[in-house]
Amino acid sequence: MPTFAEARDLVLNSATPLGVEVVGLLDACGRVLATDQISNWDLPMWDNSAMDGFAVRAQECREGSVLPVVGFLPAGRAATQALEAGSAARILTGAPIPPGSDCVVPFELTQEHHDSIRLLTQPRAGDHIRRKGSDLRVGDRVLAAGTLIRPSEIAIFASLAIAGVPVTRRPQVAILSTGDELLRPGDPLEPGRIFDSNGPALAAAVLEAGGTPIILPIARDDPAALRQQLQQGLRADVLVTSAGVSTGDRDLVRATLAELGAQEVFWKVAIQPGRPMAFAVTEECRIISLPGNPVAALLTFELFVRPALRRMGGHRRPIEATIRATLGESVRPRSDRMTLRRVCLEQIGDQLVATSSGQQATGYVQTLVRADGIALIPVGIDPLPVGTVVEVHPLRKSGDFSGGN
């Protein structure tokens, strides 16, 4: 039975970035750039004004100089006429610098009187001018492959007239919930039945991880029906199943996958909760079978499936960095497997303190809702006292930590 780290490596090492597709600017936001982007333009494309003011020639100016205003240069119009000697031209931010001018004096450093200005400062050559190519030059590598595209990257693409962005394809992820007891949310409740929470929750997790979820119909505990749904799921890049991988009479997923040609890489991991998860592969699909319990399913998705989807989507760092926190309460570890403990995180003084988010039994989904992170409690025998430093996989950004509130 592999350890947590060994199992995660096996899953992650089987995942490789998918192919390239070209999408529009807005669709590229949140995606990963697939190829290096080289600039075909200088940015700025020409010398332009960084301020609203007056374009002048510095060598002709002194503090107190009076200059006639002979022209107006708005943004969006080419500056084709040279600035006359001993004169000034009104210019707006972004407008091209006229030939013969070498600086801009902001409006607030002048006094206007009819068609002339008096300078309240001694201008210097280059003042308030953004030079051509000062941001990017033709041939510069603008962005490297593997860059996560944010609004700032969208701004660069648009500035360079790039309307189609090459990105790594999103993984297609089939999601299959199994069990005779399951109903779709919205179906009439029947005696002895429960609503499937894993399907919608895992689909949401796939979206958050950058994949495209495909929710399959619920598979009943019938070999023929299960086989049909698994065959459909194997057409995706990744198949995520929940339930049916333990040792019960109706836990049929592993055997049916083997009949369909999937090669099992491991079954069971030395973690609690989440021990009865399995991982198998075909030539085209990665199959991750999660426990049926909603808490265990979401925890194992977070720690095993999310990194794989991020790598397939082109992310350079598929594994989220852990943070260190001190235990705010004594914790008894297990002697045979790592414990995944749901915790709330709170900054107290100079320490980040982790305390239980509530009942740790896997039937309590609310404790996962309240949790800020997953404390990775290592294998051990002796209780870990208050103040012990542990690694925590964050579930929220630090500014959103609830501290149990």
**Residues 48-75 pLDDT 10s:** 999 999 999 999 999 999 999 999 999 9
Within a domain: 317:
no
Within a domain: 95:
yes
Nearest-angstrom CA–CA distance, 358 and 371: 9
Percent of the chain at pLDDT > 70 equals: 98
Write the CATH number for 159.
3.90.105.10
Nearest-angstrom CA–CA distance, 72 and 308: 58
Within a domain: 405:
no
Domain check: are 193 and 163 in the same one?
no
Closest by CA to 365, choosing from 301, 293, 300, 304, is 293
Better pLDDT: 311 or 403: 311
Domain check: are 180 and 212 in the same one?
yes
**Residues 328-376 pLDDT 10s:** 999 999 999 999 999 999 999 999 999 999 988 887 889 999 999 999 9
Closest by CA to 172, choosing from 217, 203, 149, 218, is 203
Domain check: are 203 and 298 in the same one?
yes
Write the CATH number for 388.
2.40.340.10
Residue where one domain finishes, among candidates 291, 312, 333: 312
Residue where one domain finishes, among candidates 257, 279, 312: 312
**Residues 268-297 pLDDT 10s:** 999 999 999 999 999 999 999 999 899 999
Report pLDDT for 93. 97
**Residue length of the chain:** 405
Report pLDDT for 180. 82
SS3 assignment, position 246: coil
Domain check: are 194 and 308 in the same one?
yes
Domain check: are 154 and 237 in the same one?
no
**Residues 194-252 pLDDT 10s:** 888 999 999 999 999 999 999 999 988 788 889 999 999 999 999 999 987 766 655 78
Write the CATH number for 258.
3.40.980.10
pLDDT score of 402 more than 80: no
Domain check: are 282 and 376 in the same one?
no
Report pLDDT for 405. 65
Within a domain: 292:
yes
Domain check: are 267 and 384 in the same one?
no
Within a domain: 280:
yes
Provide mean pLDDT across the span 126-148. 95
Domain check: are 10 and 63 in the same one?
no
Domain check: are 280 and 299 in the same one?
yes
Write the CATH number for 97.
2.170.190.11
Domain check: are 85 and 178 in the same one?
no
Within a domain: 74:
yes
Greatest alpha-carbon span in the chain: 96
Report pLDDT for 363. 79
Percent of the chain at pLDDT > 90 equals: 82
Nearest-angstrom CA–CA distance, 285 and 79: 59
Within a domain: 318:
no
Report pLDDT for 364. 83
Report pLDDT for 189. 86
pLDDT score of 183 more than 90: no
Domain check: are 33 and 52 in the same one?
no
Domain check: are 92 and 124 in the same one?
yes
Arithmetic mean of pLDDT over the chain = 93
Number of domains in the chain: 4
Query: How does strand 389-394 pair with strand 373-377?
Result: antiparallel
Q: What share of the chain is helix, strand, coil (3-state, %, to 5)?
A: 20, 30, 50
Within a domain: 103:
yes
**Residues 290-317 pLDDT 10s:** 998 999 999 999 999 999 999 999 999 9
Range of the domain at 184: 4-16+170-312
pLDDT score of 190 more than 90: no
